[in-house]
Amino acid sequence: MAKNKRTTGLGKRIASVLGATALLMGGAVATAGPAAAGTDCAAGYHCVFWVGFGTAKHSYFNSDADFTDDYFDGGGSPVVVNDRVWAASNSSTSGYESHYYKDINYGGGLLFCVNPGSQVDSSRLEAWQGGQASSLKLRPSTTIPCF
């Protein structure tokens, strides 16, 4: 009978270890998933919109210090992005925040920023933030409060 108790005790220990391992592995699998996507913006990109989501947009993969030579896609006639951003979406797959600045070359002060997997439109921007962006800087996670 002692032999059975020992075997049963060993079996319980093995089952506990296997169960804990399964939970750890299951947790890792459950948390590892695709990066969060912002509205109407392909994975890995930072997108700006002329009027709102689903309207003319321009997609950025990297920082851009000067929006004056960028044009919105769609929406009829070509429209320059500079000073016409009314919505933005961040689908970064590397955890970069989208930081939008008032002037080219990241000047004039930060207007707003958007966290990965998030977005903002004119209903959430202050009047002084909309229609002003002239440059985009991608930054790793910061302490600046972003949308």
CB 98 within 8 A of CB 135: no
What is residue 115's predicted lDDT score, i.e. its pLDDT? 97
What is residue 38's predicted lDDT score, i.e. its pLDDT? 75
Q: Which CATH number fits domain 46-139: 2.60.20.10, 3.40.50.620, 1.20.1260.10, 1.20.120.1200?
A: 2.60.20.10
CB 123 within 8 A of CB 133: no
Q: Residues of 37-69 as b/e, b for ≥16 C-beta within 10 angstroms? A: bbbbbeeebbbbbbeebeebbbbbeeebeebee
pLDDT digits (tens, 9 = 90+) for 10-69: 455 544 544 444 444 444 333 333 456 777 899 999 999 998 998 999 999 999 999 999
Q: How confident is the model at residue 125 (pLDDT cuts 50, 70, 90)?
A: very high
Q: Which of 53, 52, 69, 48 is CA-nearest to residue 111?
A: 48
Q: Say what the pTM is.
A: 0.74
Question: Where are the chain's structural domains?
Answer: 1-33, 46-139
Q: Summarize the confidence of residues 92-117 as an average pLDDT.
A: 97
